[in-house]
C-alpha cells in the first residue's frame, strides 16, 4: 500500500521487490483503508507502516501517535468492517490474518533482561508509546472479536536498505565515505547504548511464520545478543582496515531527551514454537552493510 501522489519511494520499491501490485491507502484515512481491503481481498495484512525514527517522534509527537498508534486501529477496523466481523459474523476459517509490527522500543527502560513476551512495557519516546498502543489494540481485537491478529515484538533489524538516519546505516555509509576519501569524520551520539541487532531478512521470515500458525499469538524476535554502538563503530571501521578512534567525533546533537540504554531479546518462544533461528550474525551483517555502501558510493562517484 502506498500513499500520496507521485510518491518517490515507489520507484525504489519496484527496483528492490520487482513486480508487485501497489494499491493506494493512508493510515490516517479510515475510508481509504476500507477501500483498499475491499479491493485487494487479502489473505494476510502486514502493518509495517509507521513514523519509525525515534528522534522524529519528539518533533512530531501527535503525528506519530496518529500514524504509528491510531493507524493500527484503523487497519484493524478496515479488516473487521470488510469481513463483517462483530456485526453478523464471527471470524472463521479463511479470515484475513493480521500482523502488527510491534517494537522492542516498547520495553524502553527495561524491567528485566533479556526481554520476553511477558516483560512489562516502559516506553521512552512518543514512538515507543504509540507502538505500545498498537500492540494492545491488536491484542484487544483478537480478544474482542476472535480475529487472527498477532504482534511480532521485533528488536532492531537492519540491512543495506535501512534508512540513512538509523545508526547502523549511518555508520556503514560513514565508513564507506571515509574509506573512499569523500569524508574524514563521522559525528555520533551516545556510544554506550546497547542493542540486539539482527538482519531484516531473517526477521521478515519470522513474520510470515507467525501468520502461518494455527493459533494467533505474539512473539519476541531478536538474536539474544547485545552490542554497544561503540562495538558497531569499531567493527565497521575494522572491516575496511581503519581505526574508529581516528574518525569518530561525539556530537551532542545526536543524543536524545530520553534514551533506551539496553535492549536484548529472549527469543526462546519463537525458537521453540515457530522453529525460527536468525541466520545472519552481527559481524556478517555489519560487513554486508559496509560492502554494500562501498559499492553504492564508488558507482555513484564514478564519472
Ligand atoms: P532505535 O533503537 O530504533 O532508536 O534505532 P537507532 O538506530 O536510531 O538508534 C540506536 C541507538 O544508537 C540509540 O540508542 C541511539 O541513541 C544510538 N546512537 C548513537 N549515535 C547515534 C547516531 O548518530 N544516530 C542514531 N540514529 N543513533 C545513534
Instruction: Report pLDDT digits (tens) over 264-293.
Output: 999 999 999 999 999 999 999 999 999 999
Concerning whether 127 is annotated as a catalytic residue, the answer is: yes
Greater model confidence, 226 or 87: 226
* pLDDT > 80? residue 36: yes
- Give the end-to-end CA distance of the chain in Å, rounded to a whole number: 36
If pLDDT is split at 50, 70 and 90, which confidence band does 17 have?
Answer: confident
* Residues with C-beta less than 6 Å from any ligand 1 atom: 54, 105, 156, 165-167, 170, 188-190, 193, 195, 229, 254, 256, 259-260
* Closest alpha carbon to 190 in 254, 244, 128: 254
Identify the pLDDT of residue 5: 75
Tell me the percentage of the chain whose pLDDT exceeds 70.
Answer: 98
pLDDT tens per residue across span 201-236? 999 999 999 999 999 999 999 999 999 999 999 999
Backbone angles phi, psi at 115, to 5 degrees: -95, 135
If pLDDT is split at 50, 70 and 90, which confidence band does 13 have?
Answer: confident
Identify the pLDDT of residue 148: 97
Overall average pLDDT of the 176-186 stretch: 98
Instruction: Give the C-alpha separation, 231 to 211, whole Å.
Output: 34
Identify the pLDDT of residue 302: 60
Overall average pLDDT of the 288-299 stretch: 96
Identify the pLDDT of residue 14: 79
Pocket mutation for ligand 1, best pick of 58, 129, 157, 189 (most atoms within 8 Å of C-beta):
189
Pocket mutation for ligand 1, best pick of 167, 228, 256 (most atoms within 8 Å of C-beta):
167
Category of 109 on φ-ψ map: left (φ > 0), alpha (ψ -120 to 50) or beta:
beta
Please identify which of the residues 105, 141, 159, 219 carries the catalytic annotation.
Answer: 105
pTM of the model: 0.95
Distance 134 CA to ligand 1 centre (A): 22
Identify the pLDDT of residue 303: 54
Residue having the nearest C-alpha atom to atom 27 of ligand 1: 167
Query: Can you tell me which atom of ligand 1 is nearest the CA of 251?
Result: 23
Overall average pLDDT of the 4-30 stretch: 84
Query: Can you tell me which atom of ligand 1 is nearest the CA of 52?
Result: 3
Identify the pLDDT of residue 259: 93
- Annotate 36-71 with DSSP letters as a single string: HHHHH--SEEEE--S---HHHHHHTHHHHIIIIIIH
Backbone angles phi, psi at 229, to 5 degrees: -60, -35
Overall average pLDDT of the 159-188 stretch: 97
Identify the pLDDT of residue 10: 81
State whether the Cα torsion 238-170-262-120 is positive or negative.
negative
Instruction: Give the C-alpha separation, 264 to 114, whole Å.
Output: 5
Concerning whether 117 is annotated as a catalytic residue, the answer is: no
Concerning whether 105 is annotated as a catalytic residue, the answer is: yes
Residue 282, C-alpha cell as written in the block: 552481527
What rounded mean pLDDT belongs to the chain?
95
Strand 149-154 and strand 44-47: pairing? unpaired
Overall average pLDDT of the 180-186 stretch: 97
pLDDT tens per residue across span 102-133? 999 999 999 999 999 999 999 999 999 999 99
Amino acid at each position: 500500500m502506498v500513499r500520496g501522489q507521485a510518491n518517490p519511494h515507489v520507484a525504489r520499491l519496484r527496483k528492490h521487490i520487482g513486480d508487485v501490485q501497489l494499491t493506494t491507502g493512508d493510515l490516517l484515512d479510515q475510508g481509504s483503508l476500507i477501500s483498499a481491503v475491499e479491493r485487494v481481498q487479502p489473505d494476510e495484512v502486514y502493518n509495517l507502516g509507521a513514523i519509525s525514527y525515534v528522534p522524529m517522534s519528539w518533533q512530531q509527537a501527535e503525528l506519530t501517535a496518529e500514524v504509528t498508534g491510531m493507524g493500527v486501529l484503523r487497519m484493524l477496523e478496515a479488516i473487521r468492517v470488510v469481513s463483517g466481523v462483530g456485526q453478523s459474523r464471527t471470524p472463521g476459517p479463511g479470515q484475513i490474518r493480521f500482523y502488527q509490527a510491534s517494537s522492542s522500543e516498547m520495553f524502553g527502560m527495561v524491567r528485566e533482561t533479556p526481554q520476553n513476551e511477558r516483560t512489562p512495557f516502559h516506553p521512552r519516546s512518543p514512538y515507543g508509546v504509540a507502538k505500545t498502543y498498537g500492540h494492545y489494540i491488536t491484542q484487544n481485537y483478537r480478544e474482542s472479536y476472535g480475529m487472527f491478529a498477532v504482534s511480532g515484538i521485533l528488536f532492531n533489524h537492519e540491512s543495506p536498505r535501512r534508512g540513512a538516519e538509523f545508526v547502523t546505516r549511518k555508520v556503514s555509509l560513514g565508513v564507506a565515505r571515509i574509506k573512499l576519501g569523500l569524508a574524514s569524520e563521522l559525528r555520533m551520539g551516545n556510544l554506550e547504548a546497547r542493542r540486539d541487532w539482527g538482519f531484516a531478512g531473517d526477521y521478515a521470515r519470522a513474520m510470515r511464520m507467525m501468520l502461518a500458525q494455527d493459533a494467533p499469538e505474539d512473539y519476541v524476535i531478536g538474536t539474544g545478543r547485545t552490542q554497544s554502538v561503540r562495538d558497531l563503530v569499531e567493527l565497521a571501521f575494522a572491516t575496511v582496515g581503519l581505526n574508529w578512534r581516528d574518525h569518530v567525533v561525539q556530537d551532542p546533537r545526536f543524543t536524545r531527551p530520553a534514551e533506551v540504554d539496553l535492549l536484548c531479546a529472549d527469543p526462546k518462544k519463537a525458537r521453540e514454537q515457530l522453529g525460527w533461528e536468525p541466520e545472519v550474525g552481527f559481524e556478517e551483517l555489519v560487513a554486508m552493510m559496509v560492502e554494500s555502501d562501498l559499492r553504492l558510493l564508488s558507482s555513484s562517484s564514478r564519472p
